[in-house]
Amino acid sequence: MSDGILVLTALDSELDVARAPAGFRVIFTGVGKINTTIATLQAIQIDKPKLVVNYGTAGKLNTKLNGLVEVSDVIQRDMNAEPLAPRGRTPYSPELDRLSSGRQGVICGTGDSFVTSTDPWLVDNSVDVVDMELFAIAQVCLRHGIPWRAFKFITDDANDFAHEHWTANVANGQDLFWDAMKGVKV
């Protein structure tokens, strides 16, 4: 039980656990919303954190972004239950349409696919970056009354070369992330 800050990231290639400051515990969730939901639930039940921080990599849709960005809001880019609800909305659960960290930042679209081309729906909904885990983390935190923050390191342009760029850049954001964590307190 840490009672401190829980850092959730998908893969050990994204973040070196040995660099975590005192009061921070790093858990690797695995890729995708289901793996992340399970890992997040287990971690918060054991650790009972005061704050959950997600760090991860992301593809960018907003061409002005580079480096490390903080996320203000997250949506599910792959929730599509039409005609029961418009794309991005969980039917009969409007509180899950858009989850907010309460911080200033970018809009993240989470889905269980690796984005390699422009999706007009994402552009129309002002999604800045795409990932595969954050919505799951934010939803578990919402359900358990735990505040969350998220930082994404831009690895690629979410295009035909995304997989090559992600592979080359997956570990390059951790210095920026740990620097951002220096001022974070619970």
With residues binned 3-state (H G I as helix, E B as strand, rest as coil), the percentages for the chain, rounded to 5, are 30, 25, 45
Q: What's the length of the chain?
A: 186
Determine the average pLDDT of the residues in 112-127: 92
Give the pLDDT confidence of 80-115 residue by residue, as tens digits: 999 999 999 999 888 889 999 999 999 999 999 999
Q: Does the pLDDT at position 2 exceed 70?
A: no
d(CA 70, CA 85): 29
- Alpha-helical regions (H) of the chain: 33-47, 120-124, 134-144, 162-169, 174-181
User: Domain ranges in the chain?
Assistant: 5-181
More confident residue, 22 or 155: 155
Percent of the chain exceeding pLDDT 70 equals 98
What's the pTM?
Answer: 0.93
Distance of CA 109 to the CA centre of its chain: 9
pLDDT in tens, 23-82: 899 999 999 999 999 999 999 999 999 999 999 999 999 999 999 999 999 999 999 999
- Kindly indicate whether the domain formed by 5-181 is annotated with CATH number 3.30.70.100: no
